[in-house]
Structure 1
């Protein structure tokens, strides 16, 4: 089997913990899951010295409370000195503190696989390593940054339809049945391979190409929806809407014409808008969103909870859907404060009669919690990765075999 160069197997691990007993426990777990080389360090300072001598790729399992250099300072030093390592935090401290450190590591740009309360278990370790294996590009050495294509290449890719659209399913939390998809732009560069959206979408926005890019995504998404409709598979299709397009009054007319050309119902299309994108030009943004609703389109407030004006946006914009950010979903079953925030958002949305979508559903524990919390739809790697439109029927046949498990 070929090895993914972005996700090589992790055979080297460093356990950083001041407790000899806890270190030995972690070492034994690492050997059980097949780690070939396991090293130990009693605090952060010793861990940094050992880490500098180890080859790539390597995993670090670090405690937080240690004499000398504690785990928080150790993580800061990893980021400061650009020491590439996958990271698992394992601590006996309370879940709120562990969650804060998790957010800190992510903000520092470190590849954190898990932030867990002790005692660390074999199942937790295997799940963390599986997350690394199943997340393309999760581990990228700092010595080889991903290439960034030029604006001219992006413009050509849009015109030549090299930009393609993949679709990630959204399924009903009660039945497991597919209800819709999210349309996601993908770009396979002839030299650099797959260029991530986090690179080419800001490039399009900063060089005046986001309008053409979005319309190309919309065309392809509408074409695919029409094909599915013709085969009896009627799904809602969500499309991300750049904040720059909210200032273009003609955009509503353009997408309405595309809708009619493909004989789709406006109710089948949902525009996903990030809550922060409406602030720049409030008058124009509200006008565009109101006109989209008048046409019958759905509106989703995307990444709910990551901004500062979530409730204010809900009070003044005719949203039909609330999409909860993955940061409030993944791992919520382990953290009480996340569960409270998640449940509060879902309760409020249900009272407002909004469809609720949870993104980032990666584990069965996430799925069960969302079921118990009366969430409407789920989206994430537990269900499916984004895929080409013609791959959906095959995935659907396999997914239907899982329905009993998802409904249990």
Structure 2
């Protein structure tokens, strides 16, 4: 029986320590990598790469080296046309490795999770397997680009009701029970859905954001009323564009829609991105204060990605703090993210705010948030956004895993 094909066919090990380099090379051989290059410094690695006809599939690079260190080497790759994937392998503290990985990602390089030296066969094998998975995904048949979209097409879609709403569940972190949903606009177009990032800026730049927001809000409130009638009372979160915050009549428009559907304002949470409220002054502050006075919940969305975050919490009567996914997913492995996450949750508790964590992707993320006392979780571990008619079936499936998600189950496994 033939042995399985190794995840990579060739790689380059860059390390000034002959002992560490040989150990890494031997580990790679044990994992079945057939062609392994070596370099004892950054300069030697660059010289070797310039002369190779085929660039290696991967580079494993140390950070502390005489002359050109590993960081300088990484910074030199793209300018010289050497965009190869890499693994940072170092005896340095995890925070330093994480920083170098972030740098490499910003430079546009493919980066696999960093490894502490000495490398173990299991850890390196997992990294090589991940690279193999990424390569396979990258070589899959490309998805045809969606149809061109413009302001005229968007205006027509809003007018004829083509833009629908999907709902992503938000669940209690202690019990796993569903507490609410976030309403997200979805535009079916050309046989599929227009990705939100392709049309999210268009309505704002073309003066269509008011019509789009009211359309989404109207559909979401009608759905909430229908769920209420069937005994399912969920909070409904709807995104509010900063372009609408200087519109004095917005408060009455939203209030009228809520009353029209027989709902109470306290069932509706209006989400405003942190970066959009940095310059909230005058009329915008008045609109937000009036919405809160009416009883609507106000959420500061994507917390941690904007500026002057503490100032916004002091100036605006928020009821909820929604922590950006970049501080949630992977925080268990990255101490700096974990410290920031804990600090944000502690501060929110002292301010009496509900805390919502976005980007809950794994059970590890979930357990960490439980341990840190987060109130509500949202992410692909729980559910992706779905049409309203799919929610009942999802709820039935979700009921079967509540024991695994609740905090008592987590404590049993600690």
Q: TM-score range by the shorter chain?
A: 0.7 to 0.9
Partner of 2:253: 254
Q: Distance in 1 between matches of 2:53 and 2:391?
A: 45
Say whether 1:270 aligns with 2:269. Answer: yes
Q: Secondary structure at the match of 2:184?
A: strand
Q: Distance in 1 between matches of 2:51 and 2:183?
A: 45
Partner of 1:304: 303
The alpha carbon displacement at 1:25 in A equals: 3.3
Higher deviation after alignment, 108-117 or 361-370: 108-117
Q: Indicate which of 13, 17, 27 corresponds to 2:13.
A: 17
Q: Secondary structure at the match of 1:184?
A: strand
Matches within 5 A, 1:12-161: 15-18=11-14, 19-25=21-27, 40-42=36-38, 45=46, 53=54, 60=58, 62-65=60-63, 72=71, 76=75, 91-108=90-107, 114-115=113-114, 117=116, 119=119, 121=123, 125=127, 148-161=148-161
TM-score normalised by the chain length of structure 2: 0.80
- 1:111 touches 1:138 (CA, 8 Å); kept in 2? no
Q: Secondary structure at the match of 2:338?
A: helix
Q: Secondary structure at the match of 1:387?
A: coil
Matches within 5 A, 1:172-183: 172-183=172-183
Matches within 5 A, 1:154-303: 154-190=154-190, 193-303=192-302
Q: Distance in 2 between matches of 1:74 and 1:144?
A: 36
Q: Distance in 2 between matches of 1:78 and 1:166?
A: 42
The alpha carbon displacement at 1:66 in A equals: 7.3
Q: Distance in 1 between matches of 2:157 and 2:100?
A: 40
Q: Deviations over 1:108-157 (max 9, x none)?
A: 45565645545462795499579969xxx999999987765222222222
Q: Between Structure 1 and Structure 2, whose CA radius of gyration is higher?
A: 2
Q: Deviations over 1:336-376 (max 9, x none)?
A: 22221111111110011110011111122211111111110
- Describe the shift of the 1:246–1:194 C-alpha distance in structure 2 as closer, same or farther (beyond 3 A): same
Partner of 2:360: 361
Q: Distance in 1 between matches of 2:381 and 2:129?
A: 12
Q: Secondary structure at the match of 2:167?
A: strand
- Describe the shift of the 1:110–1:195 C-alpha distance in structure 2 as closer, same or farther (beyond 3 A): farther
> Where in structure 1 are there 5+ consecutive unaligned residues?
1-9, 32-36
Q: Distance in 1 between matches of 2:377 and 2:193?
A: 26
> Where in structure 2 are there 5+ consecutive unaligned residues?
1-5, 15-20, 40-44, 410-414
Higher deviation after alignment, 145-154 or 69-78: 69-78
Q: Distance in 2 between matches of 1:123 and 1:368?
A: 26
Q: Distance in 1 between matches of 2:375 and 2:95?
A: 27
The alpha carbon displacement at 1:188 in A equals: 2.9
Q: Distance in 1 between matches of 2:385 and 2:9?
A: 31
The alpha carbon displacement at 1:79 in A equals: 5.7
- Describe the shift of the 1:384–1:351 C-alpha distance in structure 2 as closer, same or farther (beyond 3 A): same
- 1:267 touches 1:297 (CA, 8 Å); kept in 2? yes
TM-score normalised by the chain length of structure 1: 0.81
Higher deviation after alignment, 201-210 or 101-110: 101-110
Q: Deviations over 1:310-338 (max 9, x none)?
A: 00000111000111111111111112222
- Describe the shift of the 1:53–1:357 C-alpha distance in structure 2 as closer, same or farther (beyond 3 A): same
The alpha carbon displacement at 1:206 in A equals: 1.1
Q: Distance in 2 between matches of 1:247 and 1:128?
A: 48
- 1:84 touches 1:142 (CA, 8 Å); kept in 2? no
Q: Secondary structure at the match of 1:17?
A: strand
- Describe the shift of the 1:147–1:368 C-alpha distance in structure 2 as closer, same or farther (beyond 3 A): same
- Describe the shift of the 1:23–1:297 C-alpha distance in structure 2 as closer, same or farther (beyond 3 A): farther
Q: Secondary structure at the match of 1:170?
A: strand
